[in-house]
A and B are shown apart, each in its own frame.
Chain A
């Protein structure tokens, strides 16, 4: 038996007649699924953007309430708004670079690999683009608030120290979780896709 024989056996396989498809129901299901997907993406984007805007709003209100001496809080507000802007830019980038399901396999693999590498880099540099601005904004807000607080200097120092310890601990946990995500999820999938790409493209 050679390839041609195998091809003719393959071509001779008959598909069993399945139950009659109710195309109206299929169409309704797909439309509902499409709407659900779009709604899910929209609210995820809103949540990400709203969190930063909400924190910026709280900071701004506190700064306004403190009066002229609360001016450093404006920097914290700008940092949080900048972070929100970064999230929005990322979402727009993902939508712009999304490739259609009908592109050639290599194109799809290239796009998936590029996106995964981008995600890996973002997670690895989370300290720079996420934790840095968040911690800086938190420290500015905390220090400005403590400076205004009617408590003894020693208590201010103790509260400030405690705040730094909390920020450091939270940052460490976030960094560790991100490294874990890179190691356990992104890297294995990236290696797998690169292997697939290589097996398809290497002569």
Chain B
């Protein structure tokens, strides 16, 4: 049996393997590239701080989601005033999307940008649920991240999807 990896090595590996979580949560909760970069840095720092206490009860991705969403929700609170100002000035849809790659079609890119803009318009809790669900987490895993029961996750998620669908009206027909 190989010895456990030192926290530094785990931190590097997880930061790279789960980079998508940091990028997506930052993009969903921050306004503008600069704030998204700041939030990503803060989430990485919180992962760094909490990693020595990770005891392996959860999957790394679930654990990272918890840290990132907790950080994003708290971080937003601190930046609330600045955000209200930015809300008036900035259009979240204008945020540069996760840069396109040759594998993505123009249609996909446009849809992703609209999707991010719609997610931005949701309340903090709905935003978290939609992100987790879009990333394919099972109800049990979403329950682990949020602290809700699985049944409750189902109900809350249906509600969040309906709100998302309302914001994506004309883009998608149904989100059941």
Q: Which residues of A contact B (CB under 8 A)?
A: 1-3, 5-7, 9-16, 21, 23, 26-27, 30, 33-34, 100-109, 112, 189, 192-193, 196, 199-201, 203
Contact = CB atoms under 8 A, between A and B. Distances in A.
Given A100-B50, A102-B50, A203-B156, A10 B176 contact: no
Per DSSP, chain A at the interface is helix
Interface size range of chain B in the complex:
35 or more
Interface string B58-89: 00000100110111011001001000000000
Interface in B13-47: 15-16, 19-20, 23, 44-47
Interface string B139-154: 0000011111000100
A81 to B, nearest CB: 34
A131 to B, nearest CB: 29
> Looking at B54, B100, B108, B161, which has the most chain A CB atoms within 10 Å of its CB?
B108
Given A104-B145, A105-B147, A199-B126, A6 B175 contact: yes
12 contacts: A1-B171, A13-B104, A23-B15, A27-B8, A30-B45, A101-B70, A104-B145, A104-B146, A106-B147, A106-B148, A192-B80, A196-B73
A201 B49 CA distance: 28
B5 interface: no
> Looking at B44, B47, B146, B176, which has the most chain A CB atoms within 10 Å of its CB?
B146
A12 B146 contact: no
A13 B97 CA distance: 9
A-B pairs with the 8 shortest C-beta distances?
A104-B147, A16-B99, A106-B147, A200-B125, A14-B101, A1-B172, A199-B125, A10-B134
B151 to A, nearest CB: 8
A103 B101 CA distance: 35
A146 B19 CA distance: 69
Nearest to A197: B125
Nearest to B165: A3
B103 A101 contact: no
B70 A103 contact: yes
Contacts of A21: 15-16
Nearest to B62: A102
